[in-house]
Amino acid sequence: MGCNASSSINENDPEYLEKLQNSKVEQMLMQSQQTEKNQVKLLLLGAGESGKSTVLKQMKLLHKGGFTSQERMLYSNVIWADTVGSMQTLIIQARKLGIPLKCDLPGTELNQFKKKVLAYKALDSIDASKAGGVSFLKNYVLKYSENGAAKRKMMSTGKANAGWEGAIEIEGDQEESEEVIPGLYELSGRNDIGFSKAEIAEAIQKLWQNDDGIQTCFQKNHLFQLEGSAAYYFEHAHLYAQDEYLCTDEDILKGRIKTTGITETNFLLNDTKFKILDAGGQRSERKKWIHCFQDITCALFVLAVSEYDQMLFEDERVNRMHEAIMLFESLCNSKWFANTPFILFLNKVDLLEDKLRRSPLRKYFPDYKGKTNDLEDALQYFEKLFLSLNRANKPIYVHRTCATDTESMKFVLTAITDMIIQQNLKKSGLM
């Protein structure tokens, strides 16, 4: 007796069910492989304060529709604290450098402004609920605490780090300090000394505009740690003093919150999924980098060319450019990135042009043969210097950038994303 082929299939047969399951798994794997072909994984690298996170902010503006109200509120709180802290730093550093200040003259109006600023506790005025919560503030304490600065000085090696590998080996399981400044969590719009934020904002702006000694000290800020956007903060202090002020795009691009851990940002562009990983650049953060090294399409290394005369925040005996050189060399020639193209951003070009006029490049890099105060010669010098570190002979694409300039960054980032998409399609055999 004959029978139909279809009637011979028993849908409850274990062998049939196993084949069906295997078929589904194979189908999922094929879909996954196709998805991976259309995915770009971009890794942002660089030393602390290089501008990596600002590049990421520009990508958010370009492809993610900008910043949320929560982010704008967070930056309003942080920038206010940075504004006060930066003016306090200038007053204190002027004394250390022997720079006379008008505000030191007793009985003057500027003297009263100075006293207000020095007595004000910036962190006490931060609204924790709007500024990322208590855990965020604990990280922020490290920046302002005198104990934190003393600890960094004590742990200083005075040597440029051997790179992320050295950071992993040397720093191992060290954790950042979680010390608490007295009164840190007594958060309100007024300090215990009775000054409103508006009064402090006025004091800051008066000192900035009318005390020549403050300006002189600012011109020597490469000798100490100062926020790169301090001048911008002082000019807008009256805005940040408003409790309900929401930061503009420019404020956020100028502002800085230290990146801790690894942040991931995703966006879709021309049917290609971009995954951007931004890893904290300071030494204590580099031990985490190795966790995101797999399957990288492209590495983007950000170099702050204007910081050739500045020292690291985490080790004030080490030149920032020397640290960046050691870091780039170890990453570029690492086995982890043997087949990974690199993009090198020569960032903060606008600040370099200004810096060259008052701080000779040859003083810090004696082998520089270009013209004094010449921006083009200085940029060519740094470009050749970093390209010479490429012993792996891998492709390195160099772009000159000012990460806070939205229009110029839009042009650069569009060109880069187009290039990466084209390369990825070729690599995947889809072109």
Q: What is the pLDDT of residues 348-366, one digit of tens each?
A: 999 999 999 999 999 999 9
pLDDT of the residue at 427: 67
Catalytic pick from 49, 211, 309, 314? 49
Instruction: Please tell me the predicted confidence (pLDDT) of residue 322.
Output: 95
- Distance CA(395)–CA(342), nearest Å, equals 6
Q: 53 among the known binding-site residues?
A: yes
Question: What's the pLDDT at 405?
Answer: 93
Write down the pLDDT at residue 186.
34
Q: Which amino acid is at 103?
A: C
> Residue 256 catalytic?
yes
Q: Is 401 annotated as a binding residue?
A: no
Residues of the chain with CATH 3.40.50.300: 40-67+260-428
List Cβ<8 Å contacts ≥24 apart for 421-428.
421/40, 421/269, 421/270, 421/272, 423/297, 423/298, 423/341, 424/37, 424/38, 424/40, 424/272, 424/297, 425/37, 428/37, 428/38
- The verdict on whether residue 65 carries a ligand-binding annotation is no
Is the per-residue pLDDT at 87 higher than 70? yes
Q: Band the pLDDT of 2: cuts 50, 70, 90.
A: very low
Q: What is the mean pLDDT of the chain?
A: 81
Task: Considering only residues 411 and 83, tell me which one the structure prediction assigns the higher pLDDT.
Answer: 83
35 pLDDT more than 50: no
Give residue 65's pLDDT: 87
Which of the pair, 327 or 260, is modelled with greater confidence?
327
Residue 147: pLDDT band (50, 70, 90) is low
Among this protein's residues, is 88 annotated catalytic?
A: no
Portions of the chain given CATH number 1.10.400.10: 69-156+186-246
Query: Cα–Cα distances in Å, from 403 out to 43, 52, 222?
Result: 17, 8, 20
Ordered DSSP codes for 311-377: B-SS-TTSBHHHHHHHHHHHHHT-GGGTT--EEEEEE-HHHHHHHHTTS-HHHH-TT--S-TT-HHH
Token look-up 């009164």 returns: 183
Among the listed residues 25, 32, 36, 27, the one whose alpha carbon sits nearest the alpha carbon of residue 294? 36
Look up the CATH superfamily of 69-156+186-246. GI Alpha 1, domain 2-like (1.10.400.10)
211 appears as a binding residue in the annotation: no
Q: Annotated catalytic, 406?
A: no
- Only one residue has tokens 């031990």, namely 287
- Verify whether residue 278 is a known catalytic residue: yes
Instruction: Catalytic residue, from 211, 251, 278, 353: name it.
Output: 278
Pick the catalytic residue from 54, 225, 310, 401. 54
**Alpha carbon distance 371, 362 (integer Å):** 10
* pLDDT given for residue 336 in this prediction: 86
Q: What is the mean pLDDT of residues 69-94?
A: 93
Does pLDDT of 36 surpass 80? no
| 403, two tokens | 């990460």
Residue 391 has pLDDT above 90, yes or no: yes
Asked whether residue 253 is marked as a ligand-binding residue, the answer is yes
Which pLDDT score, from 0 to 100, does residue 404 have?
Answer: 92
Confidence of residue 150 (pLDDT cuts 50, 70, 90): low
Most confident of 61-65, 182-186, 216-220: 216-220
Answer yes or no: is 13 a known binding residue. Answer: no
CA 337 to chain centre: 22
Per-residue pLDDT at 219? 95
* Options 282, 297, 401, 417, the catalytic residue: 282
pTM of the model: 0.80
Query: Which one from 83, 88, 89, 256 is the annotated catalytic residue?
Result: 256
Question: Is 280 labelled a binding residue?
Answer: yes
| pLDDT over 90 (residue 24) | no
Which one is predicted more confidently, 239 or 270? 239
pLDDT band of 428, cuts 50, 70, 90 = low
- Residue 406 marked as a ligand binder: no
Q: Is 256 one of the annotated binding-site residues? A: yes
The residue ranking higher by pLDDT, 134 or 376, is: 376
- The reply to whether 134 sits in an annotated binding site is no
Phi-psi category of 344—alpha, beta or left, where left has phi over 0 and alpha has psi -120 to 50?
beta
Fold observed for domain 40-67+260-428: Rossmann fold (3.40.50)
User: Is residue 85 a known part of a binding site?
Assistant: no
Q: Is 54 annotated as a binding residue?
A: yes
**Predicted confidence (pLDDT) per residue in 243-300, tens digit:** 889 999 999 999 988 766 678 888 887 778 888 888 765 666 666 676 667 788 889 9
Report d(CA 33, CA 39) in Å as an integer.
10
d(CA 324, CA 328): 6
Residue 49 designated active-site: yes
